[in-house]
Chains A and B, each alone.
Chain A
Amino acid sequence: MRLLNRPLGRLSRHRRGPVAGLLVLVLGLLLTGGLYAAFSPAQAHDDNSAAQVKQGRELFLVGCSFCHGVNGEGVKTLDGNQLGPSLAGVGAAAVDFQVGTGRMPAVQPGAQIPDKPTSYTDEEIAALAAYVATLGPGPAIPNESDWSLDGLTEAERQAAISRGGQIFLTNCTACHNFEGSGGAMPQGGYAPKIRGVPPKYVFEAMLTGPQAMDNFSNGNLSVEEKRDIIAYLQSLQENPGYGGFGLGGLGPVSEGLFAWLVGIGGLVGVAVWIAAHTARTTKKKAEA
């Protein structure tokens, strides 16, 4: 007890010292600021200053405004089609997804904008996201804590993965295939492969519903349910292929192709080898 009390006693001696008031004030401010930072709604990035928004607006005017309008209001073509949709209310998460995966800026309009190497640095993406977030309230960029399984026991992890699997099979497999390999959609579109996509982008895609994809907002699938889906996808990634080569997990098409080309092709190869070496000869038998 005495050992524990000693530092307190020592501190107590300085309580009327000249810097004590200042120190308490600084500590109090740090605590308040720290608590606010920890519990406040997630922002685009730590730095959400006017300078960042200004930088974002400048980048936006150069790279995005041609299709999305100088104020992100969207642009319609002369025949009434939408060139670029309005960005009011899409939120920072949509920008982080679209620009972070290279889908935006798009090379050309079309049935579907494919992902490609990103054209902006992380800092520029954060600035763009901060600017677009000012256009209207929308989902913020999620934090790693939203999808991380850290802090769960092994049993809880397993439960999360199996629940995530059920939610995935109910909500996602229709378009993205039972193991996230993607699939075809009408009018030349496609649901992309989502195995191996960083968890942040999977989370943001559910949150914002990019292109023709439906939304799975936090009111639809809660943050925990999204976390479980991501845990399931990652467990798919980690699990060995029990049945051997998955061939893209596309089902009978790729498996049939393999059987026809490699399987039957191999048999034909053996048959050709056997037949080619059985040509007749003009020689006669020695005794004949």
Chain B
Amino acid sequence: MSDENLPATTARDHTPVGVDEPLGNPGLEPHQWRPTDVDPKAEKRAERQVAGLFGLAMLGAVLFVVCYIVFKIGDDPDTFGNLAASNVSLGVCLAVTLLAMGAGIIQWARKLMGDHEIVEMRHSASSSQEDREATVSILKTGLEESGLGRRPLIRNTLLGAGGLLGIIPIVMLRDLGPLPGDKLDHTIWDMDTWNAEEQAWWATQNRTLQRVVRDVVGTPIKAVDLEIGDLVNAEPEILFAVQDNEPVVEGTQLLVAKSKAAVILHRMLPSDITSAQTLNWSVDGIVCYSKICTHVGCPISLNERTTHHLLCPCHQSTFDLADSGRVLFGPAARALPQLQLTVDDEGYLAAKQDFTEPVGPSFWERG
């Protein structure tokens, strides 16, 4: 592009000569007042509104105390319709009080408090040149006087002390342990892991196989009890064992054992079973699987009898009970462990052996 099409300029500089600023500084806009500032009626109204809101807050607080005293709680509480009167009224009163106070304060600030416009000029973010020089000289003096450069022994021992200080929290990480060892590889289905008390109880039973019993009620299950499509939430019988009127397994130990050993039984047509192992480990179409999802360990029993798909409600992992607990969908990485089922001498369903792999989510040592 050549210059010939541009308007001619009087000088090389594009700024017109003789004009300091193209537009004069317009200054600030004249201040616009709020209606409450210029209209005494509006001001009075706003004042009444704020006072009204604060009054409402007072009323809510008083009602709160009244409701607290008046409404009965406990086993036979007062009700509004089908709602517990005390909780509902306390909640509503407190909400009204807080909301009215908050709204009142904002309304007050917006309408009645001082209406000044404030201009705050920006300034440079960096410090002044003198300040910077002074700081550098202080640092230099400090370095010289401490002698860090001249006394390497002191410098190195200080570094050593700092480094060793850092080791202390690392060593204390040990308290996160000890490592679980092989505890996660077994459940209470494995009778070899039982303690003396449990062994003593088992000695009184004169049986060789541990039964699979209904959860909550602890009753043993016969294969004929179950129809096609039945789902039973079950546990090992040791968890319901009682000796000398004392449960054999109790407290934290019971909770831990229960959370690892919980199983589900599902009866389907043997012809529906697609995997040879599942068929071998079943009894007349009754299969037994760990109830603990292999993803993050949620208990699962959302089963569909039509498809034999078991769904975990936490992250939608879906397992095929007809096919070795294979993962059909979802984040679970491992098939659901199957428990080898058999029938004991008296015809009750029992576990042939412990799970052959750790149940529940994967962990570091499992590999």
Where the two chains meet, the residues of A that have a C-beta atom closer than 8 Å to any C-beta of B are: 163, 166-167, 170-171, 174-175, 183, 185-186, 189, 209, 211-217, 219-221, 225, 240-245, 266-267, 270-271, 274-275, 277-286
Contact = CB atoms under 8 A, between A and B. Distances in A.
B111 interface: yes
Contacts of A286: 38
A282 B29 CA distance: 13
B32 A215 contact: no
Given A186-B309, A225-B217, A274-B106, A217 B230 contact: yes
Q: Which 6 A/B pairs are nearest by Cβ-Cβ distance?
A: A219-B225, A214-B231, A215-B229, A280-B32, A212-B304, A174-B301
B84 interface: yes
A163 B214 CA distance: 13
Given A174-B300, A174-B301, A217-B230, A285 B38 contact: yes
A186 B231 contact: no
Interface of B: 32-35, 37-39, 77, 79, 82-84, 87-88, 91, 99, 103, 106-107, 110-111, 214-217, 221-222, 224-233, 266, 299-307, 309, 311, 313, 316, 318
Contacts of A185: 302, 304, 311
11 contacts: A166-B216, A174-B299, A175-B302, A212-B306, A213-B305, A215-B229, A215-B231, A219-B221, A280-B32, A281-B38, A284-B38
Contacts of B302: 174-175, 185
A244 B81 CA distance: 11
Contacts of A271: 106
A267 B100 CA distance: 11
A30 to B, nearest CB: 37
Contacts of A243: 84, 87
Contacts, number: 128
A167 B217 CA distance: 8
Contacts of A215: 227-231, 305
B306 A211 contact: yes
A281 B33 contact: yes
Nearest to A285: B38
Given A170-B216, A241-B83, A278-B34, 10 more contacts: A175-B302, A186-B309, A186-B318, A214-B303, A217-B230, A244-B83, A267-B99, A278-B111, A281-B38, A282-B32
Nearest to B73: A242
Nearest to A239: B82
B32 A220 contact: no
A271 B37 CA distance: 21
A285 B33 contact: yes
Contacts of B303: 214
B343 to A, nearest CB: 15
B321 to A, nearest CB: 11
Contacts of A211: 306
Nearest to A266: B99
A216 B224 CA distance: 13
B34 A280 contact: yes
A234 to B, nearest CB: 13
Contacts of B32: 280-282
B306 A219 contact: no
A45 to B, nearest CB: 23
Nearest to A173: B301
A164 B118 CA distance: 69
Contact of B311 (A186, A209, A270): A186
Contacts of B230: 209, 214-217, 219-220
Nearest to A237: B82
A208 to B, nearest CB: 9
A171 B233 contact: yes
B33 A284 contact: yes
B40 to A, nearest CB: 9
A37 to B, nearest CB: 27
Contact of A274 (B110, B228, B232, B309): B110
Contacts of B233: 170-171
Nearest to A243: B87
Contact of B231 (A216, A242, A279): A216
A74 B50 CA distance: 74
Q: For A183, A189, A277, which residue has the most chain B Cβ atoms within 10 angstroms?
A: A277
